[in-house]
Structure formats: C-alpha cells, structure tokens
Amino acid sequence: MKLPTYPKYRASGVEWLGDVPEHWEVKPLKHFTDFINGAPFKPEDWSQDGVPIIRIENLNGGDNFNGYEGSVRQRYHVNKGDLLFGWSGNRGTSFGPFLWPREGLHYLNQHIFRLEQFSCDRSWFYWSLKAVTKTIEDEAHGIIGMVHVTKGKLGAVKIPSLPFVDQQAIAAFLDRETERVDQLVAKKRELIERLKEKRIALISRTVTRGLPPAAARAAGLAENPPLKPSGLEWLGDIPAHWEVKRFRRLIMRLDQGWSPNANNYPAATDELGVLKLSSVSKGCFYSEENKALDEIPEGVMAITPAVGDLLISRGNTPDLVGDNCVVNRSYPNLIIPDLIYRLRLQDGTDVSYVSWFLLSRSGRAYIESDARGSNGSMVKLGQGHVRGWGIPFPPLPEQTAIAAYLVAETVMLDRLAAKVELAVERLQEYRTALITAAVTGKIDVRGSVATRPSKQVISRTL
C-alpha cells in the first residue's frame, strides 16, 4: 500500500526540501531551539572520578569516560533524554543529533551542542535534524572524514515549519515506524552473530576432531576415528592418529617486515606499495589495502608476499592481533610491513590447514594468551610466541581435505551472512528514506490509516 501525499504543494526555495505542503512554511533551525556548546574542559583536569564528561566518542555508545571533580554551570549539565548535536566529528557517525541514553548527571564537553528552549515538538525536531544532517555535513568544513560546523551556520540551515499538530503526527509516526525497522534490524544482526558463531564452531571442531563422517567418507578417510588426549589445555582430545606439533617444527622461515614512510593513497598496479594491517583479515588477503611507496632506500632488504606465504599480524588490537591469511599469488611490488610476519612452512604442511587452525578457538586462545602490550588498544606477538604455539597435526592428505571442506562450508555460511547484511543495509536505507519523506512532507502521515502500511512496505525491502 502506498502512503498518501498532501493535497497541494509549493516550492520551498530550499534545495534539500524541494516542494513542501502548501500550508507549511520554512524557517532556520535557530528559530526552534537554542544550541548550547559544551564546556572547554582541559585534559589535565580530567580524572578517573567525578562527573563523567561526554565527548564526541561517547555519542555512539563509547563507554570510556573521563571525569571532572569540580562543578560547572548548569547549562553544561546533561541528563538522560537530553537532545545533543555533535558538531565536530566523523561523517555519518558522531556528527548529528543524539538522544542521551544514560542515567545520571553528565557534563558536556565542547564540540557538542545541547539543545534547549524548544518552540516546537521536541521529538519532531529530533527527526527533522536526522533528515537534514546529511545536508549540514555537505555544507560543513573539514578534512576527509572529519567535519565541523559553526553555531551560526548550523542555526541558519532551513527546515520546514508546520502546525504543532502536524509535528506531533510526524513524530508519532516516525517513533513507531523506525522502532519497527530497528527491531527487524536487531533480529537480523542477531542472525548474523549466530552465523558467525556457527562458522567459528565449525572451524574449531574440524581442526581438532577431523571431518564429519559424510565428508570423511567422501574423502576416503576413516569415519569417527578414536580420540586421545592432546596434552595441551586448549586442544582437548584429538584423533588418535594425529600428532601435536609446535610451530617451530613447521616453520622453514619466519620474516618480519619493514615499515617505511609511505603516502596516504594506494599504489597503482606498477608502483611500489607497503601493506596495511587491514590487508590481513579473517583468512583473506586484500592486496588493495596498501599505501604507495616512492622508493626502497639503499641497503634495506624488503620482503614481499609470494604464493603460499602465511601472513600473521604481529601487532594490532587484542581482538585483531594474530589475524592471518594465505597469499594466493606473488606480489613483487608490495612490501610487508613491520607489524606483519611472513611464514614459509616445511614440506608436508598444508598452509591453508594451518591458517584455519589459527582462526579456530584453540588458535585464538594461543594468540590471546601470548599477546603483550602496555597499551590496551595495541598488543604484539613475539617470534618466540609464534614458534611455541601447538597445533593438532593430521597426515598431509587429511590436512588438505580439512582445508577444502572448510572452504566449501564457510563459503555457504558467508554467502548467507552477506544476504542478511544486504537486508540490513536495505532496511537502513528504507529507514532513512522514510524519515526524509515524512519530515519533508512527501508523505502525509496525519491519518490513522496512512500510518499503518509500513509492514508491507518493509517486506518489499528484503
């Protein structure tokens, strides 16, 4: 069912609005509210105690707060439900309106406005800010992802001005309809998490217990082989005909890369480039994740990835350190950086099987127990750690069969997860379009019948 429109429209004179209902006006944001900027707290005055200070990173749920033990004027006080606007931040994330969700008193840091003294329905104004944020971002100044907007420029941005009863109708409609969309998105994200859990459980079981019966039979291997204790805490029992080996027995060569000063753009096909940490992710190698390099200084022995190399990130955040991948072809123009190890393994070892093991729960247990660092956001692995890891080691034909089986099974799970991710993306696009259409008057949501067809509309986005 199609949502109705208003009977008559007129030109608004504002590009982002286009035509608006005939009885609506257009006024600047400053007509509806006051924008109160936060206090300029100095980092040297922050403490672990005191009233938490809201900074830009906290607008999207970040729960790392600094405190302030002194008192500040009431204009800088924030409580649950207050409407905030981040005026300096990343496009599409911390920039824009937020309803503060946390209980208790907080102080407002600079770069964030608190909105007060409304001459309109506050919920409708929140949705209007949501709709106009992209336009505000486009007019803001800043570098690449970071943008800033002045109070004067923000206050001058024009939005529709409409009767209070219309404001309430739009606010009620969007409150209800976006909640429905958000519930659908939450369910789909839960499904994505379950698929991820199933994926890691599949990998973990296969690299420690072997192939399931049907797959083992198809590969000409014994079904349900007897088990024996591995002797290692994180492995448990393994098939009786498997060994447990230390990585040092598998490694023919372990090299650490070199990190030069590079440019902030990727290398062309025929140019030198240095890989970024993001080039190694969850078993996949992304050669395009690199920075262009002008030259290799004389005397520096740079190492490059070649087919069959196992790359392991030796430094990253705790959840990403130890990420690995197998390189599927040679890249003579790409330099491996200091924070990535390159491993070349002995004959009799299937490098893909080793990669799958490092992605398993047992592999991650080794990695996370060995990662070291004084900074909680960056930890590192030493070469001694890598060489000391234990791995369940089946005969080579079984390693190869396990690797092939995991490729086939995880591809199916990944495709399903990708379809769900696409559904989430479409729902979010629908949500954004719905907000814009209601706020700009492209749909008339005032009637009770007009506010009910969204379930059918949502179903067509999936």
Amino acid identity of residue 42, one-letter, is: K
Single out the residue of 348, 352, 349, 346 nearest to residue 324, CA to CA. Answer: 352
Determine the pLDDT at residue 143: 63
Strand partners, 344: 253
The string of DSSP codes covering 273-324 is EEE-GGGEETBEE-TTSEEEES-PPTT-------TTPEEEE-EE-TTTTT-E
Residue 190 confidence (pLDDT) above 60: yes
DSSP tag of 96: E
Strand 19-21 and strand 9-11: the pairing is antiparallel
Amino acid identity of residue 445, one-letter, is: V
Report d(CA 27, CA 256) in Å as an integer. 61
- Give 453's pLDDT tier (boundaries 50, 70, 90): very low
Classify the C-alpha dihedral 376-377-383-387 as positive or negative.
positive
Determine the pLDDT at residue 456: 41
Classify the C-alpha dihedral 156-157-162-168 as positive or negative.
negative
- Higher confidence at residue 403 or residue 295? 403
- Give 450's pLDDT tier (boundaries 50, 70, 90): very low
Determine the pLDDT at residue 449: 43
- Whole-prediction pTM value? 0.84
The string of DSSP codes covering 195-231 is HHHHHHHHHHHHHHH---HHHHHHTT--SS--EEE-S
Strand partners, 77: 107
Q: What is the pLDDT of residues 359-414, one digit of tens each?
A: 999 999 999 999 988 766 789 999 999 999 999 999 999 999 999 999 999 999 99
Q: What is the pLDDT of residues 39-95, one digit of tens each?
A: 998 888 888 889 999 998 888 878 889 899 888 999 999 999 999 998 887 776 767
Report d(CA 279, CA 267) in Å as an integer. 13
Determine the pLDDT at residue 30: 95
Buried b / exposed e over 258-291, threshold 16 CB at 10 Å, is: bebebeeeebeeeebbbbbbebbeebebebebbb
Report d(CA 370, CA 206) in Å as an integer. 24
Mean pLDDT of the region 107-121: 93
Other beta carbons within 10 Å of 104 = 9
Report d(CA 157, CA 14) in Å as an integer. 9
Give every CB contact of residue 167 below 8 A, 6+ residues apart in sequence.
Answer: 120, 121, 124, 125
Report d(CA 325, CA 116) in Å as an integer. 52
Mean pLDDT of the region 320-334: 95
Residue 461 confidence (pLDDT) above 50: no
The string of DSSP codes covering 11-46 is E-S-TTT-EEETT-EEEEGGGT-EEEEPB---GGG-
Report d(CA 445, CA 384) in Å as an integer. 65
Strand partners, 313: 340
Asked if 132 and 16 touch (Cβ cutoff 8 Å), the reply is yes
Report d(CA 25, CA 308) in Å as an integer. 66
Asked if 22 and 8 touch (Cβ cutoff 8 Å), the reply is yes
DSSP tag of 326: E
Report d(CA 98, CA 85) in Å as an integer. 6
Report d(CA 454, CA 363) in Å as an integer. 46
Strand 227-229 and strand 237-239: the pairing is antiparallel
Residue 454 confidence (pLDDT) above 60: no
Single out the residue of 433, 442, 454, 446 nearest to residue 130, CA to CA. Answer: 433
Q: Given its phi and psi angles, is residue 66 left (phi above 0), alpha (psi -120 to 50 degrees) or beta? A: beta
Asked if 354 and 251 touch (Cβ cutoff 8 Å), the reply is no
Other beta carbons within 10 Å of 134 = 16
- The span from the first CA to the last CA of the chain, in angstroms, equals 16
Asked if 447 and 4 touch (Cβ cutoff 8 Å), the reply is yes
Average pLDDT over the chain, rounded to an integer: 91
**Cα angle value 308/311/313 (rounded, 5°):** 175
- Give 322's pLDDT tier (boundaries 50, 70, 90): very high
Q: What is the pLDDT of residues 204-240, one digit of tens each?
A: 999 999 999 999 999 999 999 999 999 988 888 999 9
Mean pLDDT of the region 288-303: 87
DSSP tag of 384: H
Q: What is the pLDDT of residues 195-210, one digit of tens each?
A: 999 999 999 999 999 9
Residue 259 confidence (pLDDT) above 90: no
Strand boundaries in 66-186, DSSP class E: 66-68, 77-78, 83-86, 88-90, 96-99, 106-108, 112-116, 146-148, 158-161
